[in-house]
A and B are shown apart, each in its own frame.
Chain A
Amino acid sequence: MSGSGEAVGAILILVGAIFSLISAIGGIRLPDVYTRSHAASKSSTLGVLCALVGTLLFFLISDGYFSIRLILGIFFVFLTAPVAAHVLCRSAYRNDVPLVGTAEDELKDYYMENENTDEDKEEVTENEAPAIKLIDNETPLQVSET
């Protein structure tokens, strides 16, 4: 009766563990921050999704217990792991971590232009910041008086 549930859960968890091992080997062997992040985020997310789906199916088939918390965990991991990898790669790029390989850095020209405009905008806002603060201090008084 519970043999099929055990088989499905064990096989899916084993496949997820093997995906996690492959992602960890990619994290050791790849030469760069970005390629390592590529390996770690995608393959490790797929591995943990396989393991959690295996757990869900095991408890659903063998016990008839459907866990909302496990569904929520699957959804949350699936949603947040690529976002974390994206933010980490962006922080590494902005700290000028070098990228290894034959591909040329196509982001750099656009990024330098963008950074220059950002600096100009920051200077402008720094110059205008006291005026904005004065207006913000005055406007609630006028509103309260009227």
Chain B
Amino acid sequence: MIFQTILLIALGILMLSILANMYRVVKGPSGADRVQALDSIGINMIASIAAYSVLFHTHAFFDLILLIGILSFIGTIAFARFIERGVVIERKR
């Protein structure tokens, strides 16, 4: 019982941190702020999926952890290249 309570508290704390990052996404003055906050939201989603799979005692969502990590990294790199150079994929000369 204490176990489930601690995990629910952890999920609530992760939800609070996602809300705080959403504040930074809405208010951030530059584009890099918003992309950094979205990357942090992806990382918090990974931690929430880990807590969820411990809470329900299943290991069916471990692929999801790896998948969200890879997609968040690729999206962040693509947005950073777009902010820096204006294009994501450069044309070969």
Residues of A participating in the B interface, judged by any CB pair closer than 8 Å: 6-7, 9-11, 13-14, 16-18, 20-21, 23-25, 27-28, 33, 36-37, 40-41, 44-45, 47-48, 51-52, 54-55, 58-59, 63, 65, 67, 69-70, 72-73, 76-77, 80-81, 83-85, 87-92, 94-95, 97, 129
Contact = CB atoms under 8 A, between A and B. Distances in A.
Contacts of B66: 69, 72-73, 76
A28 B24 contact: yes
Nearest first, the 7 A-B pairs at minimum CB distance are A24-B20, A92-B32, A24-B17, A91-B84, A17-B10, A51-B47, A17-B13
Nearest to B4: A10
Contacts of B11: 17
A13 B36 contact: no
26 contacts: A11-B6, A13-B50, A13-B51, A14-B6, A14-B13, A17-B10, A17-B14, A17-B51, A23-B40, A37-B36, A44-B43, A47-B43, A48-B46, A51-B46, A70-B65, A72-B66, A73-B65, A73-B69, A76-B66, A76-B70, A77-B69, A81-B73, A87-B81, A88-B76, A88-B80, A90-B84
Given A28-B24, A88-B83, 5 more contacts: A10-B7, A14-B13, A20-B14, A24-B21, A45-B43
Contacts of B83: 88, 91-92, 95
A20 B68 CA distance: 17
Contacts of B89: none
B10 A69 contact: no
Contacts of B33: 33, 36
B47 A95 contact: no
Interface residues of B, number: 49
B32 A95 contact: yes
Task: Give the secondary structure class of B's interface.
Answer: helix
B19 to A, nearest CB: 8
A40 B16 CA distance: 15
